[in-house]
């Protein structure tokens, strides 16, 4: 809707992937605001209670399903990919997609350490992620993790919890775990990791600062040592306990 820059360097309207996707789905400029509102009401954190308790109207749920079916079909046609990774961070979207497409959605529930999240939310790149205070980060963490746990309870084996720190420290082991769980062969990616090669970010429109780097590598490390202040460390300690208690 805002025609932001894709990670390929082109505006969305000029990106070879997203311009083709939009053309295939035949969404016009007048229709986009209603689609944005549809996604916000179902996918975003604020809409999770309604979607979890099936309180969203059937017409809205059906519209959400149809829009996403068109979206994923178009992405598949344009990219030729047999598996599509939706990197959304919303528990509501995970649950809504799993219900809309039974048996076709596998959810990797990637959680990050409180220390890492606190440090990430202190960065000033508001274009990708608005900075959050310690209290705001604390409330956000508590709310999002309980939402993720509810999704895991509802969907059972379709959800695989993965810790960000484990992925960074043992990328090959974590990837192997995901492969065994969903049955998808990721040998090509595994070879690149083993050779310490760079991974290209592809066509990402928003949501992560790394998308602007063009390519990324895995590096192990802990964010805990970067946290300053006894008060902050106490909050991080409590958040760690909360994460563990929820099974993440």
Kindly state whether residues 180 and 223 are assigned to the same domain. yes
| Measured distance CA(75)–CA(198) in Å, rounded | 24
Predicted local confidence at residue 226, as pLDDT:
67
Instruction: With beta carbons less than 8 A apart as the criterion, state whether 120 and 246 touch.
Output: no
Segments forming the whole domain that contains residue 37 = 1-105
Q: What whole-number percentage of the chain has pLDDT above 90?
A: 50
- When pLDDT is cut at 50, 70 and 90, the band that residue 244 belongs to is very high
Q: Is the pLDDT of residue 96 over 90?
A: yes
Kindly state whether residues 7 and 23 are assigned to the same domain. yes
Q: Is the dihedral of CA 175, 177, 182, 186 positive or negative?
A: positive
Kindly state whether residues 188 and 211 are assigned to the same domain. yes
pTM: 0.87
Question: Which of 84, 105, 126 represents a domain boundary (last residue)?
Answer: 105
Kindly state whether residues 183 and 128 are assigned to the same domain. yes
Q: Is the dihedral of CA 31, 34, 36, 42 positive or negative?
A: negative
Number of domains in the chain: 2
Kindly state whether residues 88 and 184 are assigned to the same domain. no
Kindly state whether residues 124 and 247 are assigned to the same domain. yes
């Amino acid at each position: 809707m805002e025609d932001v820059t894709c990670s390929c360097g082109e505006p969305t309207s000029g990106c070879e992937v997203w311009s083709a996707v939009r053309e295939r789905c035949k969404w016009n400029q007048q229709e986009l605001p209603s689609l944005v509102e549809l996604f916000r009401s179902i996918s975003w954190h604020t809409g999770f209670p309604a979607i979890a308790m099936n309180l969203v109207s059937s017409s809205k749920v059906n519209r959400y399903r149809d829009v996403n079916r068109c979206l994923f079909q178009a992405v598949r046609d344009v990219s030729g990919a047999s598996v599509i990774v939706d990197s959304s961070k919303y528990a509501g979207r995970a649950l809504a997609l799993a219900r809309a497409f039974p048996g076709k959605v596998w959810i990797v529930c990637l959680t990050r350490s409180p220390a890492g999240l606190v440090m990430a939310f202190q960065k000033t790149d508001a274009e990708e992620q608005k900075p959050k205070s310690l209290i705001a980060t604390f409330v956000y963490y508590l709310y999002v993790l309980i939402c993720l746990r509810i999704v895991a309870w509802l969907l059972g084996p379709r959800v695989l919890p993965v810790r960000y720190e484990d992925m960074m420290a043992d990328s090959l082991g974590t990837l192997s775990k995901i492969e065994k769980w969903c049955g998808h062969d990721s040998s090509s990616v595994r070879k690149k990791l083993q050779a310490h090669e760079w991974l290209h970010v592809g066509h990402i429109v928003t949501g992560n600062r790394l998308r602007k780097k063009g390519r990324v590598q895995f590096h192990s490390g802990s964010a805990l040592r970067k946290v300053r202040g006894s008060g902050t460390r106490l909050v991080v300690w409590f958040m760690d306990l909360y994460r563990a208690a929820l099974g993440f």
